[in-house]
Amino acid sequence: MSNNEGIAKLLFDLSSESRLDILRELNLHSLKMNEIARKLDLTATENFRHLQRLSKIGLIQKLPDGNYILSEIGKLTLQFLPALEFIFKNKEYFLDHDIWRLPYQFVNRIGELSGATLSMDVIENINHAAQVMAEAEKFVWGLGDKAMEFVDPAMAKAMTSGVKFRYIFPESMLPKYKPKVDEMANVEKRTLSTIPAVIFCTEKEAAICLPTSAGRLDYAGFFGKDPMFVNWTKELFEFYWNRGQRCFPKQALFSKTYKRGNPINSKQGELIWV
């Protein structure tokens, strides 16, 4: 049997909600045959057939005391199922949005987004982001295709409460970007040549909106408070933050008056913030 045939057989044997439910139950605790049938409302014949099939492909094992448990292969298989479930649950979104602009190591962990909720309503998403920002207590991080405007009441309130802000926007917008004079030292900004997605996260909640297949950011995407999803989004933001360019002119590096968080006059007379 070739590797491809083995994978095809595994997927075929898993193409049953009852067998998937058995794996999920055994992932929680060992069970005897009659206990599995009772929990999942299966007939004795159905239950026996499913257990035989799962045993044959090595996903479960029967102990001498009659209890069934997940094998090590079964544990690994169950670990990677959420990624496939998440993809197919949101297949209409992924048919029209490009996740391959993200680094491979994050695409490979797509199962960690399983606890997030897809929202296609752009206005609702923007309003929700403002609410999340207002509720932040430690930090707000954002990556987007527009420079952040520091006039939003929610952001102004958060800034005066000591919330730390980090924002990444396209370097093409830097010549047009004129920061407000009330920006504070707890705001840091960097630029990227291209914006691969919209990312928004606080210590409590996160969001990611992928570009469409045509490369347009439509602000439809995934939102949630699930710790695994929030951590995935934070790590993705940090990946781009570490590759972003700080917003200050080269001559500022040699200025004796340079102080982090203070405005610097560029040759063009514009305020450039770092």
Do 20 and 131 belong together in one domain?
Answer: no
Number of domains the chain is built from: 2
Contact call for residues 60 and 22 (beta carbons, < 8 A): yes
CATH of the domain at 98: 3.30.870.10
DSSP 21: H
Last residue of a domain, one of 30, 51, 81: 81
| Averaged pLDDT, 145-165 | 66
Do 210 and 127 belong together in one domain?
Answer: yes
CATH of the domain at 53: 1.10.10.10
- The alpha helices in 108-213, defined as continuous H runs, are 122-135, 153-160
Average confidence score pLDDT of the chain: 83
Do 237 and 123 belong together in one domain?
Answer: yes
| Averaged pLDDT, 125-131 | 87
Mutual angle of helices 122-135 and 153-160, in 10-degree steps: 20
Do 47 and 112 belong together in one domain?
Answer: no
Q: Which residue has the higher pLDDT, 128 or 267?
A: 128
Lowest mean pLDDT among 45-59, 135-149, 226-240: 135-149
Do 74 and 99 belong together in one domain?
Answer: no
| Averaged pLDDT, 233-253 | 79
Q: Residue 274: is its pLDDT beyond 80?
A: no
- pLDDT grade for 107, boundaries at 50, 70 and 90: very high
CA pair distance 203, 135, nearest whole angstrom? 10
Interacting residues of 54 by C-beta distance below 8 A, sequence separation 6+:
13, 19, 22, 23, 60, 74
- The token pair that represents 146 in the structure block: 């527009």
CA pair distance 195, 216, nearest whole angstrom? 10
CA pair distance 197, 217, nearest whole angstrom? 7
CA pair distance 163, 134, nearest whole angstrom? 10
Last residue of a domain, one of 35, 54, 81: 81
CA pair distance 132, 90, nearest whole angstrom? 24
pTM of the model: 0.76
Q: Return the beta strands (E) in 144-240 as ranges.
A: 164-170, 187-192, 198-202, 206-209, 221-224
Interacting residues of 89 by C-beta distance below 8 A, sequence separation 6+:
none
